Structure 1
């Protein structure tokens, strides 16, 4: 596996930090090296939020994401801010409502997915958008085994919501499969 540098962005309360923690744990369970960090504005909910994870087969000696190999954005504001500094081949995963400039499609794989709509309409829980995102990112980059990703999801969600969250994770993976057809 090549070194992956993931940057998840959105607004506080969308669970982007938890998303990077889950994907880092799943990769760790599969024997990979991981480093995870996050930052957000003074508002706990509603302010811009960024969380990052580095995953590699080798020891990670520098823990800051400089040019992500994957950018996930759940809000237009966070996308507009963080899309400015990405690698030439960064995979871009965004909610379908985000306006992605046409010029980015020429250099990047852009996956516009109904993440928030699916959380609301299919899972019937808006808080599932981050778990849908985790499933989508894992499918896009093949970071961790499905078994390890399920285990990491279950380790970090409220008891009693395991089946709903597993369904959300698998839905995210399916959204990427469908988008790549």
Structure 2
């Protein structure tokens, strides 16, 4: 397991050491001790989530607030997505900045998203199965979000806007400026 810092403070890419032969393959997808030694972060994951999406499905940008704030370790089991995170921590040197990274079953790369970030992804392949671990339980009363096409963030989702499929809830998310008025990480 190799851990790589990103341009956003506290976000890390995790690359596995892959062992394959005629029988199949094996890799260690996460090791708490190795992650702590490389990042200095001791994360206790308590909930696993999985979604399946068709091409163009955009989920996000979502976050949890208050005592329900979550760190996540995300990866793609099947297909390919563009994963996006936005630093919402007002005291952070990277506040308001975002990171995009392609995650796929071929790369087996994972992204660690610390607490205080908005997260979302769009499916680039015909379909994708997305898996993530959370260090806190989901709480609907603490959920928040930012509209995917926010002008301030200006995120390039690598897919045409007419291909994007949003839930009714995600269509109504506020702009970045409105969303950050009510949060404090």
**Alignment TM-score > 0.5, same fold:** no
TM score, norm. by length of structure 2: 0.26
TM score, norm. by length of structure 1: 0.27
Between Structure 1 and Structure 2, the one with more helix by share is 1
Between Structure 1 and Structure 2, the one with more strand by share is 2
